[in-house]
Every structure is written in structure tokens, then in C-alpha cells.
């Protein structure tokens, strides 16, 4: 079988970015279909309280997943740099050493998260009407953390090699399985929210396991020899050096989302349901930005390893162009059809009214959101770990302070939640672009040194 790895150090940057992005975008859409299926089936078949109970666990699940995902992403960046450099032996050794970390870390984090689930949910003041379902769903998610991490580890390694197609195939299968199991466990077995959680874990297990087996059988970089299995402390140090700040960033963002969720919870179940619905919708808005960012990260990682700095800068500029075109196209949709979009998830008229207005507010800030993701792509590809700290700190400070200021002190009320989200995006975008200017000077210096040699 022909390998699907793409060498991004040569050829047209726009074509390469799109060839890499399109399968990954499709895959990300199917991954979000997990959550979409959960939300629609739960909201329609069980009720808005059940939907709220799942939604309120999201930031907490993301926090614990982020700890593991940062390490996997860090390993992917190092792999892409070795691949761009043409060092096949180190590529395989880096894949193995990342696996060593990713086997142990999710088990430890998942066990801790399982026992902390109930006190954290009480700390966030989750309404009593949904607290029991929230605890059950979160604990099931903690059990499945290892399987989520396994899939994301394998997909990170493959994408670092330019293969965005293989992860797609198994996500499509897992999505279809997840939808089928949702309906089976809820309608046939009357398992409620617990059934939804179990269905998702089973789908993630199959997706991750099959993706790993397929990679081992078809990709030459997963055909390991005995020499590839030695513990390379130098590579592990580099993985941790990049991965820990990324975990820190993702975790701080998750903590900031928990703080925001606590503010949302204070407005009651209707607000929680509206926030959950708009969150699910905007996950799809994030997807093209996330996909472009991941494609740019791989593109820049490979070219950074090959010392083709000019191509990194060109890739960044083309990505900004693509991001701007998408943003200009999508904003009018949310301005004119926000109620109709919200009604896909719930049939409660009050929830639809709040959610529709909320989408109109947040969509005004999508260009800032896209800027964050695009800048993140080039900085991650260059192995910039400082940006992760900066971005995480900005997010946590903004979401701890601005929602309270807008909803309480300035009297904006419930809609201050979504205004605060947009303002945080703007501040984060400014910080991200400033960091890019700093790193750009370092990259220009590398160009001059390469030219002189």
C-alpha cells in the first residue's frame, strides 16, 4: 500500500496546506460528530437538563485531556522536524519515546480525574438538578481518557509525517459506531447519560486501536527495529520541553473555561443549556481554524527542520489569507441565521432565543479567533514553547475577570458571557501576534546565518 506521508519542504505551499488540511478537516468534523450526536440525541431524547449535564463537564474533561495532549503534540513537532531534516532513524525513535510517555501519563491523570470529578463539579456550583448525571458522565470520560490519548498520539505522529488521511478513515468509522451506540443505549436500554458516555468510550477505543494497528502495518516509520526502542533521554527532554508548556497552555485554557462555566452555572439551567448549545455550534467554527493551524504547524515544523525559513514565512502568509477568506464568508451566516442554527440542538424557545443572540455576539470576533490559531501554527512548528505559557496566562486571567466584570459589575447580564469570550479572543490575538513578531526576528537571523554559510 502506498504511503500517504507528504514532504512539505518542496512544492506550492497553498496546495500542500490544502491537500493536508482537507482530509484533516473532514476528520475533525467527524470527531465533532461525536459531540454533535451526543448533544442532539440527548437534547431531543432525554431533555435539556441532560444536555446541560454533559455540557457542564466539558471544560473539566478538556483540562485533564489537555495534560496528555500537550505531550503528544510536542512529540509530533519533534517528529516533523526530524522528518524535514531527513533523519529517519530519529523519527522512529521519537515515535517510540513519545509512546513511552503517552502510555503512562493518561493512566495516572485519568485515575486522579476519576476521584476528583465530584468535588470539582460541586466547586463549580453545578445545579443540583443535573449534578448526578454530570458526575456519572465525567467519570466515564475519565475512564476513557487513555483511549482518547491513544488515538490522538497516533494521529499526531502520522500528521507530523504529512499523513492526514489515515486518521480520517478511523474517525469516520468511529463516528458512525458512536451514533449507533448512542441510540442503542438510550432508546433500547434506557441508560440515559451514562449510555452516552459508554458509547463514546467504546468508539474512541476502537478508533485508537485500529488506527495504531493500521499505522504499524502500512507506514514505514512505524516498522520498528530493536534499536528504535532504546530510551533516548535527549529526545524525551525535547518532547517535554515543548510538550509541557503546551500542556500548561491547554490546562490553563481549560481552567479558564471552568471559571467561565461557573459564571454560566450561576444563571441557571436555561443559560447552561444555551451556553452548551452555542459551544457545540462554535466547535464547528473552530474546526477550519484548528485544521489550518495544525497543517501550518506540520508545514513549518518540516521546513524548520530542513532550515527553509523563507518557506515557513510564506506558509504563514498564505494561511492568513485562507483564514481571512473563511472568516468573511462565515460571519454573515451567524448574523442572519443564528436562531435557526441554535434550534438544531434544542427545541426550548427560551434557550433558542438566548443562544441565537449569543451567536450574533461571538461571531463578531471570529477574525481574532482565526488569528490566534494561525499564529499558533507557525510558532508551534518553530518549537516556540514560551508562546504556550503566554497564551495560557492571557486566557486564564481574561476568563477569570472579564465575565464577572461584564455580567455583574457592568450589568450586561447573561449576554456578558459571550461578550467576554470575544474580548478574550481579541486580547489573545494581540499577544499572539506580538510573539510572532519576536520570533520572526529570530527566524530572520537564522536566514542570514544560513545565507552567510
Residue 319: its pLDDT value, please? 95
pTM: 0.79
Give the domain ranges of the chain: 13-452
Residue 371: its pLDDT value, please? 94
List Cα–Cα distances, 351 to 133, 188, 342, in angstroms: 20, 28, 8
| C-alpha–C-alpha distance, residues 343 and 363, integer Å | 17
Closest CA to 136 of 150, 153, 151, 117: 117
| C-alpha–C-alpha distance, residues 421 and 400, integer Å | 11
Q: What share of the chain is helix, strand, coil (3-state, %, to 5)?
A: 85, 0, 15
The arithmetic mean of pLDDT across residues 445-449, rounded, is 67
Residues 7-35: tens digit of each pLDDT: 888 889 999 998 888 887 887 777 676 66
Closest CA to 17 of 288, 224, 249: 288
Residue 450: its pLDDT value, please? 55
Backbone angles phi, psi at 115, to 5 degrees: -80, -20
Mean pLDDT across the chain: 85
| C-alpha–C-alpha distance, residues 372 and 293, integer Å | 9
Residue 38: its pLDDT value, please? 65
Give the CB-side neighbour count of residue 352, counting CA atoms within 13 A: 13
Range in 42-51, 165-174, 212-221, 369-378 the model is least confident about: 42-51
Residues 6+ positions from 137 with CB-CB distance below 8 Å:
53, 54, 57, 193, 194, 196, 197
| C-alpha–C-alpha distance, residues 8 and 54, integer Å | 40
Let me know the angle formed at the C-alpha of 282 by 361 and 60, rounded to the nearest 5 degrees: 110
Residue 165: its pLDDT value, please? 83
How is residue 414 annotated by DSSP? G
Residues 50 and 131: beta-carbon distance below 8 Å = no
| Strand spans (E) along 44-117 | none
| C-alpha–C-alpha distance, residues 61 and 76, integer Å | 22
The arithmetic mean of pLDDT across residues 224-253, rounded, is 85
252/358: higher pLDDT: 358
pLDDT > 70 in the chain, percent: 95
Closest CA to 121 of 48, 34, 54, 67: 54
Closest CA to 144 of 133, 154, 152: 152
Residues 288-302: tens digit of each pLDDT: 998 999 899 989 999
Residue 373: its pLDDT value, please? 93
Given a cut of 80, is residue 59 above it in pLDDT?
no
Residue 452: its pLDDT value, please? 52
Residues 166-218: tens digit of each pLDDT: 888 887 888 888 888 888 988 888 888 888 888 888 888 888 888 888 888 88
Residues 94-149: tens digit of each pLDDT: 999 999 998 898 899 999 999 998 998 888 778 888 888 889 989 998 888 888 88
| C-alpha–C-alpha distance, residues 101 and 72, integer Å | 9
Residue 320: its pLDDT value, please? 95
The arithmetic mean of pLDDT across residues 224-244, rounded, is 88
Amino acid at each position: 500500500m502506498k504511503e500517504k506521508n507528504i514532504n512539505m519542504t518542496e512544492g506550492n505551499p497553498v496546495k500542500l496546506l490544502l491537500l493536508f488540511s482537507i482530509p484533516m478537516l473532514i476528520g475533525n468534523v467527524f470527531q465533532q460528530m461525536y459531540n454533535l450526536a451526543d448533544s442532539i440525541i440527548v437534547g431531543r431524547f432525554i431533555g435539556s437538563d441532560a444536555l446541560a449535564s454533559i455540557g457542564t463537564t466539558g471544560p473539566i474533561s478538556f483540562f485533564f485531556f489537555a495534560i496528555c495532549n500537550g505531550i503528544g503534540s510536542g512529540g509530533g513537532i519533534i517528529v516533523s522536524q526530524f522528518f524535514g531534516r531527513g533523519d529517519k532513524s530519529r523519527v522512529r525513535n521519537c515515535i517510540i519515546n513519545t509512546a513511552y510517555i503517552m502510555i503512562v501519563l493518561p493512566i495516572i491523570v485519568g485515575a486522579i480525574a476519576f476521584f476528583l470529578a465530584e468535588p470539582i463539579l460541586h466547586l463549580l456550583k453545578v445545579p443540583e438538578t443535573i449534578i448526578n448525571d454530570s458526575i456519572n458522565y465525567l467519570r466515564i470520560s475519565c475512564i476513557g481518557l487513555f483511549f482518547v490519548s491513544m488515538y490522538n498520539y497516533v494521529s499526531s505522529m502520522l500528521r507530523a509525517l504529512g499523513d492526514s488521511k489515515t486518521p480520517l478513515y478511523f474517525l469516520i468509522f468511529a463516528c458512525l459506531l458512536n451514533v449507533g451506540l448512542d441510540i442503542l443505549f438510550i432508546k433500547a436500554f434506557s441508560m440515559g447519560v451514562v449510555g452516552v458516555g459508554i458509547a463514546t468510550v467504546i468508539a474512541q477505543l476502537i478508533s485508537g486501536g485500529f488506527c495504531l494497528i493500521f499505522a504499524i502495518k502500512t507506514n514505514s516509520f512505524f516498522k520498528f527495529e530493536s534499536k528504535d526502542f532504546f530510551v533516548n533521554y535527549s529526545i524525551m527532554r525535547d518532547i517535554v520541553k515543548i510538550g509541557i508548556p503546551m500542556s500548561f497552555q491547554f490546562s490553563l485554557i481549560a481552567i479558564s473555561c471552568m471559571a467561565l462555566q461557573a459564571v454560566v452555572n450561576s444563571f441557571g439551567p436555561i443559560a447552561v443549556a444555551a451556553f452548551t448549545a452555542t459551544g457545540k455550534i462554535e466547535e464547528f467554527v473552530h474546526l477550519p481554524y484548528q485544521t489550518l493551524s495544525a497543517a501550518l504547524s506540520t508545514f513549518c515544523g518540516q521546513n524548520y527542520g530542513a532550515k527553509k525559513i523563507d518557506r515557513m514565512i510564506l506558509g504563514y502568509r498564505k494561511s492568513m489569507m485562507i483564514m481571512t477568506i473563511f472568516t468573511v464568508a462565515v460571519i454573515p451566516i451567524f448574523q442572519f441565521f443564528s436562531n435557526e442554527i441554535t434550534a438544531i440542538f434544542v427545541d426550548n424557545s427560551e434557550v433558542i432565543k438566548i443562544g441565537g443572540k449569543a451567536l450574533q455576539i461571538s461571531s463578531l470576533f471570529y477574525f481574532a479567533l482565526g488569528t490566534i490559531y494561525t499564529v499558533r501554527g507557525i510558532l508551534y512548528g518553530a518549537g516556540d514553547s514560551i508562546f504556550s505559557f503566554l497564551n495560557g496566562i492571557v486566557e486564564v486571567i481574561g476568563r477569570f475577570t472579564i465575565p464577572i466584570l461584564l455580567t455583574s459589575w457592568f450589568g450586561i447580564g447573561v449576554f456578558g458571557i459571550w461578550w467576554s469570550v470575544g474580548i478574550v479572543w481579541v486580547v489573545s490575538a494581540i499577544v499572539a501576534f506580538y510573539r510572532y513578531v519576536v520570533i520572526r526576528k529570530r527566524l530572520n537571523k537564522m536566514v542570514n546565518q544560513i545565507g552567510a554559510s
